[in-house]
């Protein structure tokens, strides 16, 4: 539980959803509709590599809804299986929503000649960073097919933007994933300000 405690406490205050793979055998998920600031390490779901729940949560006393694993579990599993991700973070930060709203017809996010691009694996200052934008759905788990198609169509990508919703970012470790989210949000802020002049 110490490893779970450490991972969760580092990320709980920062991102809305998080999943880490422990030695590629176990995955950690937060419960649905629970404020991240109130979650304790023992509140985390532990899933096996094939998505089976190994450790579920005990119901809380009266006034609390019964716990349920995040609706993002199937989406995170897709990044894990298709890209061998070590960690996946889903963020609803304003920048990720605004970047997809400026031009509702864009299917890709593109930017070049920006210093922060060097922080994205496989990219340099002169490269063009191209990432997919998929359409949002009424329910999170309905994104799975479009997410899978985007991951397949963009082999260099480590992130997918969801219009009017947020961003999914994956990397080989939770440390790299956390860093990538910060880099992505910086890139998106600069792009938004540039587009709005």
Q: Which of 6, 1, 2 minimizes the C-alpha distance to 174?
A: 6
For the chain, how many helices (H) and strands (E)? 5, 9
β-pair partners for 29: 19, 45
Ordered strands of the 128-134 beta sheet: 53-55, 45-48, 26-29, 17-22, 87-91, 166-171, 159-162, 128-134, 108-112
| Residues labelled as active-site residues | 115
């Amino acid at each position: 539980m110490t490893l779970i405690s450490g991972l969760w406490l580092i990320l709980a205050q920062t991102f809305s959803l998080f999943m880490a793979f422990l030695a590629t055998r176990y995955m950690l998920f937060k419960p649905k509709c629970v404020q991240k600031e109130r979650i304790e390490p023992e509140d985390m779901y532990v899933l096996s590599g094939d998505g089976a729940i190994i450790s579920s949560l005990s119901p809380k006393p009266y006034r609390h809804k019964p716990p349920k694993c995040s609706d993002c579990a199937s989406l995170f599993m897709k990044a894990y299986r298709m890209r061998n991700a070590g960690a996946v973070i889903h963020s609803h930060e304003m920048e990720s929503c605004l970047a997809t709203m400026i031009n509702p017809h864009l299917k890709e996010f593109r930017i070049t000649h920006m210093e922060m691009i060097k922080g994205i694996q496989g990219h340099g200052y002169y490269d063009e960073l191209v990432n997919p934008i998929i359409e949002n759905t009424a329910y999170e788990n309905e994104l799975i097919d479009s997410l899978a198609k985007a991951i397949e169509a963009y082999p260099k990508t480590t992130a997918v933007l969801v219009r009017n919703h947020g961003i999914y970012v994956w990397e080989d470790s939770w440390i790299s994933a956390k860093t990538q989210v910060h880099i992505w949000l910086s890139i998106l802020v600069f792009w938004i300000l540039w587009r709005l002049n």
